[in-house]
Amino acid sequence: MLFNSFIFIFIFLPITLIVYFRIGRYGYRSVAIIWLIIASLFFYGWWNPAYLGLILGSILFNYAMSKFINRNINRQSIYVLVFGIAINLGFLGYFKYANFFADNVNSLLATSFHINQIIVPLAISFFTFQQIAYLVDSWRGETGGYKFLHYCLFVTFFPQLIAGPIVRHKETLPQFAKNIVGKLNYENLAVGLSLFILGLFKKVVIADTAVTYVTPFFDIATHGGDLTFVEGWVAALAYTFQLYFDFSGYSDMAIGLARMFGIVLPINFNSPYKAYNIIDFWRMWHITLSDWLRDYIFFPVRRSLLRKYRNTHTYLTLLVPPMITMLVSGLWHGAGWTFVLWGGLHGIYLVINQAWRTINSKLALTSKIPLYFLNNISWLITFLSLIVAWVLFRASTLHSALLILKAMFGFNGIVFSLGGNLSRREVLLFLLSSMFIVKFLPNSIDIMSLYKPVLGKNYTKHKSLIPLSWKPTIIWGLLFVVLALSSLRMMITQGYHEFIYRFF
């Protein structure tokens, strides 16, 4: 079931909300939580009921492991932690990477290992990473006292189950224990519904429109065809904006849905295409995944190197941690060499970025360059680097990615023709308007900043945006009605596409 489907918007969501608040009206908080768990499992099982057993088994196993670790916090508990992580990664590896591994072994060694095609369970990457973090935090002594029902909802809560954010126990579990659970709050409903509408508009009106400019050219490359210079850049730029609005839209809808139920989720998307460098980009794109990778991979690897070499091999701490972290990020996103190379390329970007910061801090190379000029050059270099990397992320094969990059860099000649039935004016208008939105307009969190829609956002920095902030007024209400009707009209006339991050 998709957030951008009629059955979700007009059947599942209203029924879930009505029953939830009816139960909460009589003070049955535990029953309200049970209802949300049941609704969330139904939402998850809508795609494939067969995998309900997997997520339930994962919940039972990890909760039992965490309780055992909590009761035995000593040196021996590290073995239980390692066992728990290994089981989680084992299931993730089997479902997501077994076919990839077998295909590569066969290709490398000329063997004929055969594994029937494995259908990857929905959201397995998300709920696996979320529960691994919980086990590690249990080992650190941070998770004692949480009830099983609350833990079940922590894992299954449908607004963040499919594509994040990857929440930490300290962010949502305390909220499930509050007296506000199940209580109707009209402010929460208004804020949540507004965010949901903003996200729906981004997804079905902007991101799904980009598909018509992305798919034809990537398909040509997949089948070995050559693209012109303009077609290569249209494909890459359109996908850059498609992915942005697709994931931004999902993030808005997720935090909006949670807010309707009175739950505030952590920020997961914060205008990443405004970043002036790659390090800042990863602090603004898929923030909860970036934080997870930083806390549970980057820092442990870096600390291990520092302990081993005692700062005598500083280049290792500069090179190894970001490369390992981003290669893991690439594999997390998908079982394919395009994803591995995408992660490796971002690892190289991060190494270069950090090396430049180190050199510049010592030599002050940019001290005499006007800040405005420097910021614009930094932004342009960052944005172009992202576009190149996104080609690898989207391409179905390495060969097709190289064909698109070859066209973009002029190896097929600088030809300004645009094939197919696409209108040059429409394509240019879409790309320019998308660029204007992502670079110059406030994002959804900024627009809703007066009501603090997410955790982990410094709202004091956005006082200048208060005149543009959402308020429960007739004008804002009419604007959101127009956005909602435009989105529904697009869904009726052109259907709807699945979320890109749904597949990770």
How far is residue 129 CA from its own chain's centroid?
13
Report the pLDDT value the prediction gives residue 312, as an integer from 0 to 100. 57
- The reported pLDDT for the residue numbered 369 is 83
Mean pLDDT for each consecutive 10-residue tract of the chain (504 residues)?
93 97 92 96 92 94 92 80 94 89 82 78 91 93 88 95 91 88 92 97 95 93 92 96 97 96 95 96 95 93 81 73 94 92 96 90 82 91 97 95 95 80 88 96 92 83 67 92 95 87 71
Angle of the 229-260 helix axis to the 398-408 helix axis, nearest 10: 120
Q: Are 387 and 280 in contact (CB under 8 A)?
A: no
Structure confidence at residue 112 (pLDDT): 75
Between CA 226 and CA 214 the distance in angstroms is 15
What was the pLDDT predicted at 153?
96
The pLDDT value given to residue 461: 60
DSSP string, 222-238: HTT----HHHHHHHHHH
Task: Enter the pTM of the model.
Answer: 0.93
CA distances from 89 to 59, 125, 257, 314 (A): 14, 9, 30, 31
**Contacts made by residues 345-349, CB under 8 angstroms, sequence distance 24+:** 345/388, 345/389, 345/392, 346/278, 346/282, 346/389, 347/322, 347/323, 348/323, 349/278, 349/385, 349/389
Catalytically active residues are 333
- CB 2, CB 48: distance < 8 Å: no
Task: Please name every residue paired with 23 in a beta bridge, in sequence order, or none if there are none.
Answer: none
